[in-house]
Amino acid sequence: MPLGTKLRVAVVGGGPGGLYCAALLARQGHAVEVRERNAPDDTFGFGVVLSDETLGGIERADTVVHAALSAEFTRWDDVAVVHRGRMLTSGGHGFAALGRRRLLEILHGRCTDLGVTLRFHTGAPDAHALAASYDLVVAADGVHSATRESGAGHFRPTVTTGRCRYIWLAADFAFDSFRFEIAETEHGVMQLHGYPYAPDSSTVIIEMREEVWRAAGLDLCDEDESAARCAKVFGEALRGRPLRGNKSAWTRFRTVVNERWSHGNVALLGDAAHTAHFSIGSGTKLAVEDALALAEAVAARPDDVPAALAAYEAARRPAVASTQRAAAASMRWFEEIAGYVDQPARQFAFNLLTRSRRVTHDNLRMRDARFTRSVERDFGCPDDGGTPPMFTPFTLRGLTLRNRVVVSPMDVYSAREGVPGDFHLVHLGSRALGGAGLVMTEMVCVSPEGRITPGCAGLYTAEQAAAWKRIADFVHTSAPGAALGVQLGHSGRKGSTRVMWEGMDEPLPEGNWPVVAASPLPYRPGVSAVPRALSTAEMAAIRAEFVAAAGRAADAGFDLLELHCAHGYLLSGFLSPLTNHRTDAYGGSLDNRLRFPLEVFDAVREAWPQDRPMTVRLSATDWAPGGTTPEDAERIAAAFAAHGADAIDVSTGQVVADESPEYGRSYQTPYADRIRNALGVPVIAVGAISSWDDVNSLLLAGRADLCAVGRPHLYDPHWTLHAAADQSYTGPAAPWPDPYRAGSRKPPTGRG
């Protein structure tokens, strides 16, 4: 198609995203038709929230629409969190909202002015049929998109349903802030999300777990009765005023993800392409941003619609994926809100505000320093205003750590015959000099057969113990105040493999040793060796090897011992139902699967000095169907805590080869959070914690007591000291070694 030729465009769906896309394309001179099955004044829900970023895009694309919206907006800055009758307010957030019906009126008018044909009460034919008659078809037909479903073989959608029921209602008065409130009823926790959208109106969303909804009998209520009962539960927040519906029904949130957003000249837009939980903002915001990106892509390539649609998807997908990750974290937080209600009020409020990880400690401090400082004081930060949460001490048994940063156990595969050498001395010593409160060794193996690779370190000989003592002495002498921890483990079925950079989990080409496990199941069928199922006598022998290694670790001077029960190694293999198929007393029920790991723990705890702490690392989910669940992980953590574990180091996965992890920033921390708040046991959080801001946020929110940081410490051995410098902290929790003091300030860059 030559440049400058008008496109014939059909938009399926007359919601805000479809209408705004139609207006933008009409401004470019294209002939646009919108088909909407409902009447022009039909709408669902009430208020729509738009961010400053979205409004900026609208202003750049169409000043007429921006001016009309700006004249209608209700604006506010505060978020109010009501916890057990106490209201805490945080400012500086900046919101803008208007009524959904008014938004549609503005967009209808703009479309009419630009010559868009609006067809209401008109169900569109299949979008793929329309594609034969139009140059571009925009499917903005919502979360239940018929276009997406009819083209599922190409779009490849995944739709997952949340665990809460919610209903959109409205109140005929304006809240003065974004309001979150919980009600602890006899049936369980219910929650209110409310915000103003007009001088005399507010949106009110009531949400609760499915089982709470059923126990309260709300599954038997119609719209009017649901509104009346919710108004009674939240009578104080509503000032005794009623709630009203608008074709409102209880539903569960559906998260929509598509592998592809376009097919030929058909594009998905808004909820048809993706959804994000309402607790982080409006789906309308995402749809409007889609419309902006789609119109921009078409303007750049009107002669090649498929290429334009590919560019649209490439431009939007990263931002949408980021939003969906944040929305998933927020949705899960509200699903698990019952686990947080016993937190102190300010910590609860901070936890809620930072639930999606988009708002962080540093960000919130800039928005509302007074509120953030009050949370820091409650946490235990000194009243000097200059000590970040990560630089407060933490005590486990007889060990007080100077700060909350842990260098994660990281296998370096550089030992010879299990003996750690100069590489280990420099690797661990440099990170101790770099300021971390606790530096962990890699998994140290309790026997030659318990190694993962020939390069793994051990503690099964006197020579190995002497080498570890040399390292411990260096840390304690040259980095006073830093603690050194040892992680003991046995590779189980994941042993006898090459070092990581030669082929992770690949069997050795020669010199293999036999591998053992709970059950004779290879880690990678057809690739990995088939392990021998351990007999009870062999299990007793391995338990004795753990005890002997613990004795050597104590003599070497380690300050803390961690038992490795994660990542599919031997003890982890007993815990997971995917890897333990035993029919004796060590298999079957979770209590039975726990038996051998607890026997090892008890024996090691008895051998380990009583004043030194002992932790356990767990995989809190296998990321695979039929594996360990978060509920299982709670029970496993509770069992170890009851047997004397001082903290639980909460990791995930690596138990089975066909896992499907949900990677992302701090992606494993919700599992630590859940265990900590369900059991009251200290936890170490791990998993893509990459910034000091994340560490501070997790600690203040009560999601972790310590944070283990791995890859950033590989990139920068002095990561902790640099985190202190970046926050202008110069206190005793992050001392620079005397020979390094001259480098304690960041060097200037450039000529300026």
pLDDT digits (tens, 9 = 90+) for 327-343: 999 999 999 999 999 99
> How high is the pLDDT of residue 44?
65
Mean pLDDT score of the chain: 94
Residue 557 DSSP symbol: T
> How high is the pLDDT of residue 2?
44
Given a cut of 80, is residue 281 above it in pLDDT?
Answer: no
Given a cut of 70, is residue 543 above it in pLDDT?
Answer: yes
Range 220-235 average pLDDT: 97
Helices and strands in the chain: count of H runs, count of E runs: 25, 29
Give pLDDT tens digits for 679-708: 999 999 998 898 999 999 999 999 999 999
> How high is the pLDDT of residue 622?
95
Tell me how long the chain is. 752
Given a cut of 50, is residue 419 above it in pLDDT?
Answer: yes
Given a cut of 50, is residue 348 above it in pLDDT?
Answer: yes
Give pLDDT tens digits for 17-30: 999 999 999 999 99
> Of these residues, 569, 586, 671, 729, which one is catalytic?
569
Residues 100, 34: Cα–Cα separation, whole Å: 18
Give pLDDT tens digits for 387-415: 999 999 999 999 999 999 999 999 999 99
CB 266 within 8 A of CB 280: no
> How high is the pLDDT of residue 3?
47
Given a cut of 80, is residue 160 above it in pLDDT?
Answer: yes
The one-letter code for the residue type at 578 is L
Given a cut of 90, is residue 94 above it in pLDDT?
Answer: no
In this prediction, residue 1 has a pLDDT band, given cuts at 50, 70 and 90, of very low
Q: Is 413 a catalytic residue?
A: no
Backbone angles phi, psi at 474, to 5 degrees: -65, -45
CB 665 within 8 A of CB 688: yes
Distance from the Cα of residue 550 to its chain's centroid: 35
Range 96-124 average pLDDT: 91
Pairing of strands 157-161, 254-258: antiparallel
> How high is the pLDDT of residue 624?
95
In this prediction, residue 41 has a pLDDT band, given cuts at 50, 70 and 90, of confident
> How high is the pLDDT of residue 742?
82
Q: How far is CA 202 from CA 168, 238, 451, 660, in A?
A: 11, 10, 62, 41
In this prediction, residue 4 has a pLDDT band, given cuts at 50, 70 and 90, of low
> How high is the pLDDT of residue 614?
98
Residues whose CB falls within 8 Å of the CB of residue 742, separated by 6 or more in sequence, listed in order: none
> How high is the pLDDT of residue 43?
67
Record the pTM: 0.91
Half-sphere exposure of 632 (CA within 13 A, CB side): 21
> How high is the pLDDT of residue 125?
73
Range from 46-55, 148-157, 402-411 carrying the lowest mean pLDDT? 46-55
Q: How far is CA 737 from CA 22, 181, 400, in A?
A: 63, 48, 20
Residues whose CB falls within 8 Å of the CB of residue 508, separated by 6 or more in sequence, listed in order: 453, 454, 496, 497, 498
Joined together, the tokens standing for residue 403 give 């700060």
* Strand, helix or coil for residue 22: helix
In this prediction, residue 367 has a pLDDT band, given cuts at 50, 70 and 90, of very high
Joined together, the tokens standing for residue 634 give 């709670």
Given a cut of 90, is residue 751 above it in pLDDT?
Answer: no
